[in-house]
């Protein structure tokens, strides 16, 4: 028996709610300095109810070969990745208009 989406009422294999909700996020990317002058890339504005932060964080950490964490609606990556992170998020399915770089 097919699992039905609670938002749109369609079967999960036909459901597009996750793709549509990725377009509605307003993502902010900024550089943050932590203890001992260590720099990190902070990605905020992701809704944890819509996006699976752990899997997005895991994909980003694998792509950039760095450490990091994903919790409380943000993803923190160790190191300065501001120059290429926007292109990577677009490849993951987020809309380019909703991504703001600080």
CATH of the domain at 69: 3.30.780.10
Domain-embedded: residue 41: yes
Residue 63 to residues 6, 16, 57, 75, 83: CA-CA distances in angstroms?
Answer: 33, 26, 10, 14, 14
- Beta-carbon count within 10 A of 94 CB: 20
| pLDDT category of residue 48 using cuts at 50, 70 and 90 | confident
Owning domain of residue 28: 21-101
Phi and psi angles of residue 41, each rounded to the nearest 5 degrees, phi first: -100, 120
Q: How many domains is the chain partitioned into structurally?
A: 1
Residue 67 predicted with pLDDT over 70: yes
Q: Average pLDDT in the 32-52 region?
A: 88
Is residue 3 a part of any domain in this protein? no
28 in a structural domain: yes
Q: Is residue 1 part of a domain?
A: no
User: What pLDDT does 10 receive?
Assistant: 74
Q: Which residue, chain included where needed, has tokens 């260590």?
A: 38
Residue 26 in domain? yes
| Mean pLDDT, range 32-56, rounded to an integer | 88
pLDDT score of 19 more than 60:
no
More confident residue, 46 or 84: 84
- Calculate mean pLDDT across residues 61-69: 95
In sequence order, the β-bridge partners of residue 45 are: none
**Is residue 56 situated within a structural domain?**
yes
Q: Is residue 13 part of a domain?
A: no
Lookup: tokens for 38: 């260590």
């Amino acid at each position: 028996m097919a699992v039905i989406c609670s938002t749109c009422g369609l079967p999960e294999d036909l459901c597009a709610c996750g793709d549509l909700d990725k377009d509605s996020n307003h993502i902010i990317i900024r550089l943050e300095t932590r203890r001992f002058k260590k720099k990190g890339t902070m990605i905020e504005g992701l809704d944890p109810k819509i996006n699976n932060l752990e899997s997005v964080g895991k994909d980003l950490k694998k792509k950039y070969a760095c450490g990091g964490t994903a919790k409380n609606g943000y993803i923190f990556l160790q190191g300065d990745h501001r120059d290429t992170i926007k292109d990577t998020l677009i490849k993951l399915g987020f809309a380019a208009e909703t991504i703001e770089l600080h």
